[in-house]
Amino acid sequence: MFKKLCLIGVGLIGGSIAKAARKHAIVETVVAYGEEEHLANLQLAVDLGVIDNYTSDIAQALDGADLVIIATPVGAIHHIAELLLPHWNPECIYSDVGSTKSNVVDAIHAVFGYVPVNFIPAHPIAGAERSGVSAAREDLFSGRRLIITPLINSDPLAISQLSRFWQSLGSSVSTMSVDHHDMVLAATSHLPHVLAFALVAMLGRKDEQKEIFKYAAGGFKDFSRIASSDPTMWQDICLANKQHILPLIQQLKSEITSIEDLITHNQATELFETFTYARNARQRYLDQLED
Amino acid sequence: MFKKLCLIGVGLIGGSIAKAARKHAIVETVVAYGEEEHLANLQLAVDLGVIDNYTSDIAQALDGADLVIIATPVGAIHHIAELLLPHWNPECIYSDVGSTKSNVVDAIHAVFGYVPVNFIPAHPIAGAERSGVSAAREDLFSGRRLIITPLINSDPLAISQLSRFWQSLGSSVSTMSVDHHDMVLAATSHLPHVLAFALVAMLGRKDEQKEIFKYAAGGFKDFSRIASSDPTMWQDICLANKQHILPLIQQLKSEITSIEDLITHNQATELFETFTYARNARQRYLDQLED
């Protein structure tokens, strides 16, 4: 389907794209671009059989590519856009995998002065608390959602080719606006990550004196799992999507404060109602998962 | 080892104790006590083969019992203590499974005027987001921790017999003070539950307009799992252990606010450091799990 996939960034997501695309024979060759400090990682990716080759020469990396996917942390997007600009090929499809979409589109716009019709922003809703190319899995996207956030001028053919690419990797492809994406993901992914980091950081400081983790039950393991996520990635996401994350943090703090008030004033019935409401909301979420 | 186990409360925990104790042949008979409104549930427990029998006559339930375990939500403990008082048998061991221990000891003290030497407070660190006797599992306590919080006057023989009982069910038994238990559990269990309930309740209210749950990834499923816990149980725990939970809620809100400030002021390096600290703290927790 594609002759040459050029990957910019070969961590968990980039590596898993390469593995899955090669397994399903959707690409002939996978070449990665990386700067000097990433070459050891790219050599590891070759050694693991994840990619075919790599180079620190961007012209060489892009030469002949008909699909370019940016899979770096989202904070690097402006710099990557500057690298791509002089070599832009209207025959190639460009995409990314960023967990935030406004900042990606803004960065492309800032560098190009417009968003090229063949740059199609995308986000695979998949991940794991492990990171790096050695954690890459060919089935990472299987049965997961992939959201494409096209712009008004995006090339319909490029959108459909990119959709087919991800469907071939096992993903279920949805389309929504950039802003809606960033609002939804702030609520169901970015906010929970902030919360998990906050909780585990706070308890970690206590634990250094008191060994409280020793008696944590299985629930804590699940609850804290996302606090093991990649710090660089999440630093970038928090800053890139702050306009959606900050209001949600405010709302969550209000919710916590109202539970705190109910506990303080022994309002058992109202606590029961809040917890029941939450339990029912989660059940709606589980019911949707099964659809 | 025991002739007759009298269970007061046959939900997930009580039912799992009955199943496990019978499987390992540690008790000859399991009889449950319940009031009128619980008889249908106790009949279900008989039908499922979890218990041998039940009665709403407390004297009959206790007659001949050499082990009594209270497995109701912790809010019921005062009432249960009143029921037990007139029938107290110095030859029998009494225990409970409450997630908070101060309030259990306080309730016993309030009713008896002292804490009998053969009442040994205990807490199995096991649970699941499912509740009720139909979710009971004979392996629920296998490989899990069981904390005994003896008092200064507790009978050493009763402590060691109760320890052996739980070890036979597969638990690893630790001992600590009532107050230390309640502090540790507030941090690693009660606070995360409050947080999960708060997050899912808040998102649930949004979700009614916006279907945000549809795009939640696997991380959200794990993170929100404990928001499916039993609302009555958690209403009781929050009120019973408020003296430890409320200060932790304050500390967590401060931690969230400091992350919020870092995001607001684009302090990437400090965000990275906080997230890295949390990730490392969780790794310490995981390393302990493997010990």
Nearest-angstrom CA–CA distance, A238 and B266? 9
Residue A253 has pLDDT above 80, yes or no: yes
Interface test with A, best of B262, B275, B290 (most A CBs within 10 A): B275
Q: Which of A187, A217, A255 sits opposite B201 (nearest CB)?
A: A255
Tell me the torsion sign for CA atoms A242, A243, A248, A254. Answer: positive
pLDDT at B173: 96
Q: Are residues A142 and A268 in the same domain?
A: no
Nearest residue on chain B to A258, alpha-carbon basis: B198
Q: What is the total residue count of chain A?
A: 291
Mean per-residue pLDDT for A210-216? 80
A27 has pLDDT over 60: yes
Q: Which residues of A touch B285 (CB under 8 A)?
A: 200, 207, 213, 216, 220-221, 224
Contact A216 B188 (CB under 8 A): yes
User: Mean pLDDT lowest for which of A255-264, B122-131, B190-199, B229-238?
Assistant: B122-131
Give the pLDDT of residue A214.
82
pLDDT at B210: 67
pLDDT at B123: 96
Q: What are phi and psi of B172, to 5 degrees?
A: -100, 115
Tell me: do A104 and A244 sit in the same domain.
no
Residues B100, B122: Cα–Cα separation, whole Å: 9
Nearest CA in chain B to A271: B235
Do the chains contact at A194 and B259, CB–CB below 8 Å?
yes
Examine the pLDDT at B129 and tell me if it is beyond 80.
no
In this complex, how many residue pairs, one in chain A and one in chain B, have their CB atoms less than 8 Å apart?
Answer: 303
- CA-to-CA distance for A202 and A166, rounded, in angstroms? 39
Q: With contacts defined as CB-CB under 8 Å, which chain A residues touch B252?
A: 198-199, 202, 256
Residue percentage of chain B with pLDDT more than 70: 97
Contacts of B268 in chain A (CB under 8 A): 75, 235-236, 239
CATH of residue B117's domain is 3.40.50.720
Same domain, B201 and B244: yes
**Residue B79 reports pLDDT greater than 80:** yes
Q: Which regions of chain B does DSSP assign to beta strands (E)?
A: 2-8, 27-33, 53-55, 67-70, 93-96, 119-120, 122-124, 145-148, 172-175
Q: B176 to chain A: nearest residue by CA?
A: A215
Pick from B160, B176, B192: which residue ends a domain?
Answer: B176
A214 and A241 share one domain? yes
- At B285 the pLDDT is 87
B217 and A144 in contact (C-beta within 8 Å)? yes
Q: Cβ–Cβ of A125/B215 closer than 8 Å?
A: yes
Beta-strand pair A122-124/A145-148: antiparallel
Q: For residue range B254-284, what is the model confidence (pLDDT) as tens digits? A: 999 999 999 999 999 999 999 999 999 999 8
Asked if the Cβ–Cβ distance from B246 to A264 is below 8 Å, we say yes
- The pLDDT score that the predictor gives to residue B196 is 94
Q: Are residues A160 and A186 in the same domain?
A: no
**Cβ separation of B207 and A259 shorter than 8 Å?**
no
Residue B55, pLDDT > 80, answer yes
Backbone φ and ψ of B66, nearest 5°? -110, 0
Cα distance from A211 to chain B (closest Cα, Å)? Answer: 8
Q: Is the pLDDT of residue A98 over 80?
A: yes
Mean pLDDT, chain A, whole residue set: 94
Which residues of chain B neighbour A185 with C-beta distances below 8 Å? 215
Shared domain for B153 and B21, answered yes or no, is yes
- pLDDT of B211: 72
Residue B286: the pLDDT is 87
The arithmetic mean of pLDDT across residues B172-188, rounded, is 94
The pLDDT value recorded for residue A290 is 66
Q: Is the model's pLDDT at B80 over the cut of 80?
A: yes
pLDDT at B291: 56
| Residues B204, A259: C-beta atoms closer than 8 Å | no
Tell me what the pLDDT averaged over chain B comes to. Answer: 93
Using one digit for the tens of pLDDT, what is the confidence trace for B217-228?
767 888 888 899
- A212–B184 C-beta distance less than 8 A: yes
Residues of B in contact with A242 (CB under 8 A): 263-264
The Cα-based distances of A61 to A14, A39, A54, B146 in angstroms read 15, 13, 7, 58
Note the pLDDT of residue B128.
66
Range name among B79-83, B111-115, B148-152, B233-237 with the lowest pLDDT average: B233-237
From B103's Cα to the closest Cα of chain A, the distance in A is: 14
Q: Are residues B125 and B67 in the same domain?
A: yes
**Using the beta-carbon criterion (under 8 Å), do B282 and A192 form an inter-chain contact?**
no
Per-residue pLDDT averaged across A59-67, rounded? 97
Among chain A residues, CA nearest to B233: A272
Of the three residues A156, A176, A196, the one that is the final residue of a domain is A176
pLDDT per residue over A108-154, tens digit each? 999 999 999 999 999 999 876 678 999 999 999 999 999 999 999 99
Same domain, A69 and A190: no
Same domain, B190 and B142: no
Mutate to test the interface with B, among A235, A236, A274, A283 (most CBs of B within 10 A): A235
Report the pLDDT value the prediction gives residue B215, as an integer from 0 to 100. 81
Residues of chain A with Cβ-Cβ distance to B210 below 8 Å are 183-184
Q: How does DSSP assign chain A, residue by residue?
A: -EEEEEEE--SHHHHHHHHHHHHTT-EEEEEEE--GGGHHHHHHHHHTTS-SEEES-HHHHHTT-SEEEE-S-GGGHHHHHHHHGGG--TTSEEEE--S-SHHHHHHHHHHHSS--TTEE-EEE----S--SGGG--TTTTTT-EEEE---TT--HHHHHHHHHHHHHTTPEEEE--HHHHHHHHIIIIIHHHHHHHHHHHHHHHHHHHH-GGGG--HHHHHHHGGGGS-HHHHHHHHHHTHHHHHHHHHHHHHHHHHHHHHHHTT-HHHHHHHHHHHHHHHHHHHHHHH-
Chain B CB contacts of A140 below 8 Å: none
Q: Do B225 and A219 touch (CB under 8 A)?
A: yes
Contact B197 A278 (CB under 8 A): yes
How many domains is chain A built from? 2
Q: Which residue in chain A is spatially nearest to B190 when comparing CA positions?
A: A220
Whether the per-residue pLDDT at B208 is higher than 90: the answer is no
The CATH number for A226's domain is 1.10.3660.10
A interface mutation test: which of B131, B177, B202, B288 has the most A CBs within 10 A? B202
Q: Based on the domain organization, do B166 and B185 belong to the same domain?
A: no
Q: How far apart are CA B255 and CA B257, in angstroms?
A: 5
- Mutation choice for B interface testing from A223, A233, A234 by most B CBs within 10 A: A223
Q: Is the pLDDT of residue A196 over 70?
A: yes
pLDDT at A277 over 80: yes
Using 50, 70 and 90 to split pLDDT, how confident is the model at B63?
very high
Site from B101, B181, B188 to mutate, A interface, most A CB atoms within 10 angstroms: B188
**A137 and A16 assigned to the same domain:** yes
Percent of chain A surpassing pLDDT 90? 83
> Does the pLDDT of residue A86 top 90, yes or no?
yes
Last residue of some domain: A144, A176, A208? A176
| pLDDT mean over B132-154 | 95
State whether B204 and A249 contact (CB < 8 Å): no
How far apart are the C-alpha atoms of B51 and A278, rounded to whole Å? 32
Clarify whether residues A8 and A149 are in a common domain: yes
Chain B residues in contact with A214 by the CB 8 A cut-off are 288
User: Is residue A17 a contact partner of residue A7, using CB atoms and an 8 Å limit?
Assistant: yes
pLDDT at A209: 67
Location of structure tokens 């995998």: A97
Domain that holds residue B79: 2-176
Lowest mean pLDDT among A136-150, A222-236, B157-171: A222-236
